[in-house]
Amino acid sequence: MTDLALLLLQAGSTGDPTGIGIFRFFAAFALIITFYCSFLGFTYWISKDE
């Protein structure tokens, strides 16, 4: 567990794909889609009553 925490906290992974690199790749993708859908959904919600 401590090893995992250290791994997650390590500064910018620039090495050839490591576990942390792959994790960050998918974390970024999930965050992008989440933000995008949330903002679009919110904009639709505030506009639909007109």
Partner 1 sequence: MPIGNLDVPIIGKNVVIAVLVQTHILFAAFIIGAVLIAATSEYLGMVTKQPNYERFARNLARFVVLLFASGAALAITFVLALVTLFPVFFSILQNIFFWVFLVEAFMFLGQIIIVYAWYNVWDKLAYRKSLHVVFGFVAGFFGLMAMTMIDAVASFMLTPAEVTSQADLVARSFLNQTMVPLNMHRFVGNFSYAGFLIAGWAGWRYLRTTREDDREYYDWMGHFGLLWGFAFLIMQPVIGYGYLKGIRESSPDSFNTIMLGDKSWVFNLLVLWIAVLSIASTAYFVHKLRFAVKPMETLRKLSVGALGFTALFTVLNIIPANADLIPQIGLVFGQGEDTQIPLGSMYPWKYIGLIGLMLVGFFVVALYLRASANGFHWGRASRWSQIALMSCAFFVVMTMVTMGYTRETARRVDNNPGYLIHWCVTLDQKIVGEKCPTEPLAGEVAK
Residues that bind partner 1 (CB under 8 A): 8-9, 11-17, 20-22, 24, 27-29, 31-33, 35-36, 39-40, 42-44, 46-47, 50
| Least distance (Å) between residue 3 CB and partner 1 | 15
| Least distance (Å) between residue 1 CB and partner 1 | 14
Cα angle for residues 19, 22, 27 (degrees, 5° grid): 120
CA-closest candidate to residue 34, choices 22, 46, 23, 42: 42
Nearer to partner 1, 1 or 46 (CB): 46
Range 7-15, long-range pairs (CB < 8 A, 24+ positions): none
